[in-house]
Structure 1
Amino acid sequence: MDSSFDIISTEEVKDIRAALEEGDLCTATERASKYLKDIENAPLNIAITGESGTGKSTFVNAIRGMNDEEEGSAKTGVVEMTEKPTPYVHLQYPNVTVWDLPGIGTPSFAADSYLQSVDFSRYDFFIIISSERFKKNDIDLAKAIQAMNKKFYFVRSKVDSDLHACKVRRTKTFNEGNILNEMRNNCIQSLRDGGITEPHVFLLSFLELDKFDFHIMQDTLEKELPEQKRHIFLISLPNISLPVLEKKRQAFKKDIWLWALLSGGVAAVPIPGLSVALDIGILVKAMKTYMNAFGLDEKSLKKLADTFGKDVNELKSVIKSPIVTKEINKELIITILKSAVIGGLMLVEYVVSTIPVIGSLAAGNISFRSTHWMLSGFLEEIAEDAVRVLTKALESPV
């Protein structure tokens, strides 16, 4: 199967292809609708655990794109603040929940009964955090998770603080790369000594999540999560770096053909003045989804500006898409479709042959082609705008 379709399983793609080959557009559309809903509603439960004082709650906030003082953030402190497994729902994606688990090894949560106490079965994977080398409690927990066929990953936290301390102490010999390798090798060796043969260890600073090993961790999770959970994980990531934005662009690019197939198969009302009928509501929903995920809505732009000490109008000034600055609704979509661009689309052969799962049936459907064209163009526009906005936010003051 073409890798561009790995947002859904091989069997699901075969189901849609079989319906199209039989000329049953209704069934193909129903299946596309179901798979889109499954993608949108796929639950993802991430467990954050480790010993007390390692920064678990700060990571819960950071991975949700929040700081420690925002309403709804996990409570942080110098002592263990979490007394029971506490769910923190993602602000934009309510089916994504990050669980702040109590510190392992505390009097209330002994290592030998920890997983039963926190109801391990509800989590998709565990992130075990330590602010120094991993200890017996961490290793015992990892072994227990492994025995229950769950995924786990090790995060070495507070890397920024340790680097700063090393820089102060090693004024002549300080080398960041060498020190990071020392940290990583030290963690890996302690885990191997404890019986973990191939540990995944990531060095992170929760105050600067985009630095160090965050992108390596992101790539690892992307490879190891199931299709639908991989998608929701990627699009729920905070927009903290250019690689994250590119991952989101690629993730959304993979579901455009499903939106287009759905638009081509539903009962749609013809647009006055155009010989085309498609579901405008589908376009509105998809485009709003893309815009919010890239952080180009008003609330996200204001938050980004505040985070980097910028004026929100300064960030808006680099946005080039005329759509982003307007309210996305049916009227706007109809206006765009009535432009000369759609007329040109009808005269030029649109390359749908690159979407083999659709076949000749949908390739001849102008609704499918129009929706695919419009969503593809919009996605590229806002992805580029998101890059420009983040680049502007990261600029140092002159």
Structure 2
Amino acid sequence: MADVIKSLNLLETLKESIENNKLSDVKDAVEDLLISRINLAVVGDRGDEKATFINCLLGLGPGDDGSAPSPSPAAPEEVACYLNPKHPDFRLWDLPPVPSTSPFQPEGYMEKVKFPRYNAVFVTFTQTPHPHSVEVFLEARSLQQQTVYFILFTSAKDTEKNLEEKRKASLVALTSHGVSLPKVYLVRPSTLEKLDFPGLLEEMARDLPEIRAHALLLALPTLTPTLITQKKESFKALVWAAASLSGGVSAIPVPFVASMVDSSVGVRILTKAQSSLCLDNESVERLARQRGADPARLKELRTCVLSVEVTKGEVKKRLAAAEKEIATVSSKLVEMAMPRHARSVSRSFAAMLQALNGAIDEMAADAEKIMAAALGKGK
């Protein structure tokens, strides 16, 4: 997400579906966001850099369960898949390097690795992109698959001058092979918050279908403070959709709506928020290992009880408290948020909105404190 506008755009889309009485569309959007269904592929030589990159995208360290090993056990032409342990429908596919032998047909390689099934593809290299990789990129563009990106892996030894020289050489190579307005992103696999990776995420947010961009955002680890803010805004759009369904804004029966009336949906959303914001014990301990921080100290920074554990009892308590306080909620705010024909059910809507949004604000604040402490220790 480039900014909060992305979340507001999703919110407007959801509101339009409610206005048009398409609750099934809203239900599908809620489920999609809760599942975080997205497929990313990484093309390139199978070495330490590629394995580290994949693991950082998954929020894993070397040796963690489910992490990509180096050297890769996959056969040279085999496609390997790695699942995010917290978001199993976020899948990272390790694609074999594009063959350097000639003659080469990009269509054959793309068919073999099932190129169209990936929502985005990273073409990685350490010096300059191979001409055959450029052919794959151009073929993907000709098929209207726009979400293919060139990534130049860097190391801590690279100087600023050296990095710019590498970028310039790569851009020249891409231009010479027919890529107009080429872009190359400098990425340090072990520290994705540095260099160009945050900018690449912004580019992907513009290129991906909006629901996929949100799914990616929620599944990524908390790499930067900006990502935490963007996750918070995305969860608030999700809360709005869930609260709308909970309010019973349509007479049309939708099976999913029945479960929205109780606290179970609140537990699902806040459990997703806890894992997305990397607040659970396992995620905090993993972050501490990666940054050389004290895990006990990081855990102490969680002041919201839901950051530590999401329970139905706590969610029910917050919903009940919101019901009691609902008289203090601005009626104007409710009128602005709810579709015109649904204002009679604004009490249920406002209670869930107030309870869950308040919880998400508290959890995001905890995530910001933990990230600041971990990054400070890493520095």
Fold shared by both chains (TM-score > 0.5): yes
Aligned pairs (5 A) from 1:1-398? 4-7=7-10, 10=13, 13-19=15-21, 28=23, 30-41=24-35, 43-51=37-45, 53=47, 55-77=49-71, 82-105=76-99, 112=106, 113-151=108-146, 152-163=148-159, 176=160, 178-265=161-248, 266-267=257-258, 278-325=261-308, 327-339=309-321, 342-350=323-331, 351-355=333-337, 358-359=339-340, 361-362=342-343, 364-396=345-377
Q: Which of the pair has more CA radius of gyration?
A: 1
| C-alpha contact (below 8 Å) 1:129/1:154 kept by paired residues | yes
- Structure with the larger helix share: 2
Q: Which structure 1 residue ranges, 5 or more long, are not aligned?
A: 20-26, 164-175, 269-276
Structure 2 CA distance for partners of 1:111 and 1:51, relative to 1, 3 Å = farther
Are the equivalent residues in 1 in contact too, given 2:301–2:370 (CA < 8 A)?
A: yes
Shift of residue 196 of structure 1? 0.4
Secondary structure, aligned partner of 1:295: coil
Q: Deviations over 1:168-204 (max 9, x none)?
A: xxxxxxxx2x443333222212111111002231001
In structure 2, distance between residues paired with 1:223 and 1:369? 31
In structure 2, relative to structure 1, the CA distance for the partners of 1:109 and 1:5 (3 Å cut) is: farther
Paired residue secondary structure (2:264) = helix
Instruction: Report deviation, 1:227.
Output: 1.3
Q: How many residues align?
A: 364
- 1:169 corresponds in structure 2 to none
Q: TM-score, normalised by structure 1?
A: 0.82
Q: Percent identity?
A: 24
Question: More displaced, 147-156 or 72-81?
Answer: 72-81
Q: Aligned in 2, Cα 1:297/1:249: closer, same or farther, shift over 3 Å?
A: same
Partner in structure 2 of residue 274 of structure 1: none
Match of 2:92, SS?
strand
Assess, with a 3 A threshold, how the Cα gap between structure 1 residues 308 and 345 changes in structure 2: closer, same or farther: same
For the Cα contact (< 8 Å) 1:153–1:199, is it kept in 2?
Answer: no
CA distance in 2, matches of 1:40, 1:108: 45
8 A contact 1:54–1:129 mirrored in 2: no
**Contact 2:66–2:84 (CA<8 Å) still a contact in 1?**
no
